[in-house]
Structure 1
Amino acid sequence: MKNVEQYAPQFFPVKNPPMRWAQKTMIEKPPIWCSVDLRDGNQALITPMSLEEKLEFFQYLVKIGFKEIEIGFPAASETEYEFCRTLIDNDMIPDDVTIQVLTQAREHIIAKTFEALKGAKHAIVHLYNSTSVAQREQVFKKSKEEIIKLAEFGAELCKKYREQTEGHFRFEYSPESFTGTEPEFALEICNAVLKIWDPTPDDKVIINLPVTVSHSMPHVYANQVEYMSDNLYKRENVYISLHPHNDRGCAVADSELGLLAGGDRIEGTLFGNGERTGNVDIITLALNMYSQGVDPELDFSNMPELVEVYERVTRMRVYERSPYSGQLVFAAFSGSHQDAIAKGMHWREAHDCKHWNVPYLPINPEDVGRVYEADVIRINSQSGKGGVSYLMETKYGYQIPMKMRESFGYLVKGISDHAHKELLPEEVFQIFKDHYINLETPISFPEIHYVQKGGDAIEAAVTIQYQGKAETVRMEGNGRLDAVSNAVKKYLNMDFTLMTYTEHALEVRSNSQAVSYVELVKNEKSYWGVGVHSDIINSSISAFLSALNQLVQDM
């Protein structure tokens, strides 16, 4: 690519980092979650949410378990201010939920912020100012000392207005553009703020370390977080919060490594909505933990509902491949994948497995409100016999014999390929019915009568309707099906082999029905038929007749 020489690293790695976090293999407990959907997420929308939409979204965030929710920048506009006051004045904030608001280090903004919060039972006042080299030099044109003084000024004002305002307030400070800031300077300015707020066990302070713009690989951020965690003033009374953006596609990795490195809290959004490439997706983070047996303490068990609410109020769309939440993330089109999933599910049933370990499915789709037949096994020209058969079994109750699966699988693939589209479950079932079940053309059996002979012999008097004529043929066999088969062979003057016969109850559709499968072989070619009837004898004869009609039509 051209102009590569204009780019260079914009981050400041920690010198000789201890990297203790690298010895850990998983996050063992959930962080404190803070949704910033209503502030960071909302300001990134093409059309920001209305007051009614914000209220609905707030209530939904509470429903799924968020205990800290950033609701906006109340001093920035009347809309933001009104939203804050509506929540407080209408007592819409549960006692165990804390709202969070953003403010700059300017007195009239801080004053307006505390005015908006008056009477709040619990609130976090989030103070920030930019600290990166680029911001200091290009935007604010201030020295390090001047930037520190600005942060100290804001911290003093927050402390002053808290004392004057009714409500219970905690503090948070962000050195904005932390990842473009020298670690030593970031530590210096955070400690300057902490010394003013003087956190205690009963009044802990949040230090937020935002990946405002992602500049580095995740391990660099983890080292920066670990450095801060090791050196913050009164660290035991400080929550380290992480706020990663996704410019390099690393927000989830930044968050996970940051938590290993000492982070206590995550600020993010549902589905990763946010400025530019977005914030960290809390759903992905939480369900990553869930997939390893850690309860994230957020409830994403109804993903279809969550997607519907989110898409409606934000007018954004959840990408089909978005982890855990996308429409296709559990879908298997590949035949080998479908076969492995089907076998894995049967293995679970047979072995009463304690832990989830199904090939290609990192979690059980049902745990997030998805269903196998609609979301997991998807049928198109890439599908195989295993997936098609699994769909027929789980949705419609047909336990297709192993030898028949290949025939049916190729049939379905061919139809999908010709139509250039995915086939819905009901379309697959219709193909099965049209090609296999209770076929009565070109041959039918209007009547069959059986007579028990000596031993196991059965005589069948079969009335055969074919090409506009009906004739009754009598033949014996070692059972009803064999006797009917022999009668047909005599009538057609044809030889074939009844190779396979299986049956089972069709429990999914009706406890009283039975399904039978018959394979006839002629000249080394198989013809399959399926019979469904409340009587098992009639079911078997219908399956034989269906296979026979396949054979005759191929003559």
Structure 2
Amino acid sequence: MRSSRYRDVFARVPVPALEREWPSRRLTAAPLWVPVDLRDGNQALAEPMDPSRKRSFFELMVSMGYKEIEVGYPSASQTDYDFVRLIAESDIAPADVTVVVFTPARRDLIERTVESIRGIRNSVVIHMYTATAPVWRDVVLGHDRAALRELILDAGRDVLRFAGDLPNVRFEFSPEVFNLTEPDYALDLCNAVTTLWDASADRPVILNLPATVEVATPNVYADQIEYMHRNLERRSSVILSVHPHNDRGTGVACAELAVLAGAQRVEGCIFGNGERTGNVDIATLALNLHVQGIDPMIDFSDIDHIRRVVEHSNRIELHPRHPYVGDLVHTAFSGTHQDAIKKGFAEHRDRSVQSGTPGDRLAWRVPYLPVDPADLGRSYEAVIRVNSQSGKGGIAFLLERDYGIDMPRRLQIDFSRRVQQHADETGLELDAAQLFAIFERTYLSPVPSAIELRSLEVSTTNGETAVGLRVGIDGVQHAGTFAEVGPVEATALLLLEAGLGVEIVSLHQTSLAAGSDGDALTLIEHRVDGEARWAAGRHRSVLEASVAAVLGAGAQVLDTRLRRPRPGSST
């Protein structure tokens, strides 16, 4: 693959030596977020947004709490120009939202940009950019360092000429491809611009330092940002901003380390849409803070609604494994993961009950789930899903959640084998209803006509209890009355008299709570020729459910004796 061709790409712009402070710092607060979906993200769409989609997206960002939004590139298209005019001529932008417009460092385009913002009552930022890296200077612009410096300052003077008298307007400068620009040159350009624009505490200049094309590890970008942070003139009058792209797949890491290195502001797209491999993903950055206990200052509590609007506006579907928002990111198929998650939910419920504290106020300690899905407006329904990779914990979780069945551990093991066999044979995912169908077929009605309960009577005379039973076994009636025993023992004794000994190991009572009219469910573990088996009985009456479970066990004994294949087995 001739990798050596790329060896010296970054070596041309080494970072001056510095005593790094960023590695020992920790994130403690959210930076200022600036979504650029309506400009940078829009440029990256095969079909740019029409006015309706653009407005929907803007209104979404306002509702989420963004206070600074880059709304367009008004000199690039009539659609963008008209959208900026819509903001000027309507009230769609609340008074506390700063509007950012983007322009190249060219006089006619700067003038067109300033025309678009006239009449906007909100605070406005004019964002001027020019590429500054050596390859761009040589290949694209045809300027040496001195000539490009003068071009930038001329454009900066044009910004002042056309907008310097507008009291609600501030300025932003981006040396595009900052991360591939010689650090001393980038620093000189930024200092020259802040001097020209007279950056002050009451009218700070934004210096935005883009990793326009990622070519190095995130620590290198952090070093570059810290170098600028520590060497900029008028630092207290500068808002230091970053704009990472994602060519190496490390845009999020670049942004996080840049904030540690002194950046105060992050430009990106809500879910990372942007040219090539995308801009940095603000949702991931913000929710990474959330799961560290830091308020991200943006509301993602209805992430599915946000996703729907973004997908509609961009006409791009999000990947099912996209961090935090993808369909499958809170979902576990693996058996070990499911078991741990099930135990984590149970422990969380127990702590809530014991402490009397609502679950959403307790420390989150559920394995494999770094965030409570409920924080994002997600239900728990999609957290555990079953396929051939799943284990007993996930299967048990779904049946307990949807049907109220609390399966003992040994039954979980037995049932999971049957589910896995079914999943292996079909290759399909199984939902809770399909799991319950397998459960019914295997334990509740293994041989429907082999043994049936015809009557059950429990009576008490002079303090003594008697159980009377009539049972049909392969069409032959067997009856008996048994004193001083319960229905379970009486049923086992009647089956024994009929030649079907049932060796009961354990009995568990539970219920079918969902969609089943509150039926009682009895689960019986028994042995047939030394092999552990399970049978279940279901009825509105707990007594009849227990008798039905014993009869089900008897049917399995009869089934084995007659060498009948059992449903759910591989024979």
Smaller-chain TM-score range?
over 0.9
Give the partner amino acid of 1:162.
A
**Which residue of the other structure, out of 531, 536, 540, is the alignment partner of 2:537?**
531
- From the superposition, tell whether residues 480 and 228 of structure 1 become closer, same or farther in structure 2 (CA, over 3 Å): same
**Which residue of the other structure, out of 446, 453, 458, is the alignment partner of 1:450?**
458
Aligned to 1:333: 333
- The reply to whether residue 386 of structure 1 matches residue 393 of structure 2 is yes
- From the superposition, tell whether residues 169 and 368 of structure 1 become closer, same or farther in structure 2 (CA, over 3 Å): same
Give the partner amino acid of 1:151.
I
- Asked whether the 8 Å contact 2:307–2:325 carries over to 1, the reply is yes
- Separation (CA, whole Å) in 1 of partners of 2:461 and 2:534: 30
Give CA-to-partner distance per residue, 1:493-515, whole Å, 9 cap, x none.
02221111121355555785433
Aligned to 1:133: 134
- Asked whether the 8 Å contact 2:453–2:548 carries over to 1, the reply is no
**Which residue of the other structure, out of 367, 381, 385, is the alignment partner of 1:359?**
367
- From the superposition, tell whether residues 406 and 272 of structure 1 become closer, same or farther in structure 2 (CA, over 3 Å): same
Give CA-to-partner distance per residue, 1:7-49, whole Å, 9 cap, x none.
423352322222100012x311001000011111111111111
- From the superposition, tell whether residues 200 and 393 of structure 1 become closer, same or farther in structure 2 (CA, over 3 Å): same
Query: Mind listing any 5+ residue stretches in structure 1 that lack a counterpart?
Result: none
Aligned residues: 550
Determine helix, strand or coil for the equivalent of 1:372.
coil
Aligned to 1:106: 106
- Asked whether the 8 Å contact 1:530–1:543 carries over to 2, the reply is yes
Determine helix, strand or coil for the equivalent of 1:153.
helix
- 1:32-181 alignment runs, 5 A limit: 32-120=32-120, 121-163=122-164, 168-181=168-181
Percent identity at matched positions? 38
CA drift at 1:94: 0.9
Comparing 347-356 and 146-155, the one that deviates more = 347-356
- Separation (CA, whole Å) in 2 of partners of 1:61 and 1:278: 19
- 1:482-497 alignment runs, 5 A limit: 482-491=489-498, 493-497=499-503
Aligned to 2:441: 434
Give the partner amino acid of 1:124.
V
Give the partner amino acid of 1:312.
H
Give CA-to-partner distance per residue, 1:142-179, whole Å, 9 cap, x none.
121111111111222212222455x7211111000101
- Asked whether the 8 Å contact 1:444–1:545 carries over to 2, the reply is yes
- Separation (CA, whole Å) in 1 of partners of 2:372 and 2:449: 44
**Pairwise CA RMSD of aligned residues?**
2.0
CA drift at 1:549: 3.2
Determine helix, strand or coil for the equivalent of 1:127.
strand
Aligned to 2:413: 406
- Separation (CA, whole Å) in 1 of partners of 2:201 and 2:295: 26
Give the partner amino acid of 1:391.
L
- The reply to whether residue 318 of structure 1 matches residue 318 of structure 2 is yes
Comparing 499-508 and 277-286, the one that deviates more = 499-508
Give the partner amino acid of 1:268.
G
Determine helix, strand or coil for the equivalent of 1:22.
helix
- Separation (CA, whole Å) in 2 of partners of 1:486 and 1:458: 16
Give the partner amino acid of 2:472.
Q
- Separation (CA, whole Å) in 1 of partners of 2:377 and 2:289: 18
Aligned to 1:227: 227
Aligned to 2:307: 307
**Which residue of the other structure, out of 423, 429, 442, is the alignment partner of 1:416?**
423
- Separation (CA, whole Å) in 2 of partners of 1:348 and 1:6: 51
Q: TM-score, normalised by structure 2?
A: 0.92
- Asked whether the 8 Å contact 2:500–2:557 carries over to 1, the reply is no
CA drift at 1:272: 1.0
- From the superposition, tell whether residues 49 and 552 of structure 1 become closer, same or farther in structure 2 (CA, over 3 Å): farther
Determine helix, strand or coil for the equivalent of 2:327.
coil
Give CA-to-partner distance per residue, 1:94-144, whole Å, 9 cap, x none.
111112110111111111101111111221110111110111111111121
- Asked whether the 8 Å contact 1:464–1:473 carries over to 2, the reply is no
CA drift at 1:529: 2.5
- From the superposition, tell whether residues 64 and 16 of structure 1 become closer, same or farther in structure 2 (CA, over 3 Å): same
Give the partner amino acid of 1:443.
I
Give CA-to-partner distance per residue, 1:418-464, whole Å, 9 cap, x none.
11011122211222233223664321102112244788x74332221
- Separation (CA, whole Å) in 1 of partners of 2:243 and 2:237: 19
CA drift at 1:516: 2.1
- Separation (CA, whole Å) in 2 of partners of 1:548 and 1:233: 88
Comparing 87-96 and 344-353, the one that deviates more = 344-353
Determine helix, strand or coil for the equivalent of 2:271.
helix
Give CA-to-partner distance per residue, 1:54-76, whole Å, 9 cap, x none.
11111111111211111111011
CA drift at 1:385: 0.7
- From the superposition, tell whether residues 386 and 471 of structure 1 become closer, same or farther in structure 2 (CA, over 3 Å): same
- Separation (CA, whole Å) in 2 of partners of 1:350 and 1:412: 29
Give CA-to-partner distance per residue, 1:358-401, whole Å, 9 cap, x none.
2111111221122223x211101111111111111123211111
- Separation (CA, whole Å) in 1 of partners of 2:530 and 2:416: 19
Query: Mind listing any 5+ residue stretches in structure 2 that lack a counterpart?
Result: 353-358, 562-571
- Asked whether the 8 Å contact 2:495–2:502 carries over to 1, the reply is no
CA drift at 1:243: 0.3
- Separation (CA, whole Å) in 1 of partners of 2:297 and 2:545: 52
**Which residue of the other structure, out of 447, 451, 469, is the alignment partner of 1:462?**
469
- Separation (CA, whole Å) in 2 of partners of 1:220 and 1:110: 33
- Separation (CA, whole Å) in 2 of partners of 1:42 and 1:547: 66
- Separation (CA, whole Å) in 1 of partners of 2:227 and 2:113: 32
